Amino acid sequence: MKATELERATNGFNRYGSWSLLFAWVPVVGDPLTLVAGILQVPLVTFLALVAIGKTARYAAVIGIIDLF
């Protein structure tokens, strides 16, 4: 992981708070977000809930798009 990715994730996390974990599924940004959440000691229940909601929404959207075809 590059320092610039970690810095970008830290800035986004500080700006949007724990809600930014809804985007943990986004390539390149998601991994640093989860790392920052760990460094900032986000409560495990909050972390798991937000990441699960974000990933579930992503896969629901993928399935919905596939069903269109």
Could you state, in order of their start, the residue ranges of all structural domains in the chain? 3-68
**Angle, vertex CA 29, rays to CA 26 and CA 30, nearest 5:** 60
Q: Give the pLDDT of residue 38.
A: 92
> Which residues fall within 8 angstroms of residue 31, CB to CB, at 6 or more apart?
1, 5
Q: Could you list the mean pLDDT of each consecutive 10-residue stretch along the chain, which spans 69 residues?
A: 79 87 90 90 95 95 90
0.75 surpassed by pTM: yes
Q: Give the pLDDT of residue 14.
A: 85
Q: Give the pLDDT of residue 7.
A: 83
